């Protein structure tokens, strides 16, 4: 569930950061269809319906992937540190506690990181 919440939180940011035109593929025959639609009324209706359907597609999945690849690429994931990785040593240093508290931030067998 945590992953779904994370994705739901990132999607609006990704939608703002990555514009639809950046990821929306343009069909190779679109210009040809447009020319045909100018002369044929039946094709014009079909072409208008196609363009309407395409405009409704927000490409949220592609925008999300593009956002992650641009702003936090997978090759940087191993450089990320646990948010509290240094807090134990800092607290021990300030309090004068000599106990080994490294087990608190040590990766456990059940923890899965990207």
What's the domain count of the chain?
3
Are 112 and 69 within one domain? no
Are 34 and 5 within one domain? no
CA–CA gap between residue 20 and residue 59 (Å, rounded): 7
Are 64 and 53 within one domain? no
Are 114 and 85 within one domain? yes
Are 35 and 12 within one domain? no
Does 18 have pLDDT greater than 70? Answer: yes
CA–CA gap between residue 29 and residue 57 (Å, rounded): 19
Domain residue limits at 102: 81-114
| pLDDT at residue number 99 | 74
Q: How confident is the model over 20-70, as pLDDT tens digits?
A: 888 888 889 889 988 988 988 888 888 899 888 888 788 899 999 999 999
Are 41 and 89 within one domain? no
User: What distance, in Å, lies between the first and last C-alpha atoms of the chain?
Assistant: 15
Bigger pLDDT: 34 vs 91: 34
Does 8 have pLDDT greater than 70? Answer: yes
């Amino acid at each position: 569930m945590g992953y779904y919440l994370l994705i739901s939180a990132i999607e609006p940011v990704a939608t703002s950061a990555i514009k639809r035109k950046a990821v929306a593929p343009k069909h190779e025959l679109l210009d040809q269809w447009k020319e045909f639609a100018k002369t044929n009324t039946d094709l014009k209706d079909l072409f208008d319906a196609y363009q309407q359907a395409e405009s409704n597609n927000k490409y949220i999945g592609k925008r999300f992937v593009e956002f992650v690849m641009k702003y936090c690429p997978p090759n940087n994931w191993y450089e990320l540190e646990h948010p509290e990785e240094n807090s134990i040593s800092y607290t021990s240093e300030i309090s004068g506690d000599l106990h080994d508290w490294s087990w608190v931030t040590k990766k456990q067998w059940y923890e899965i990181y990207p």
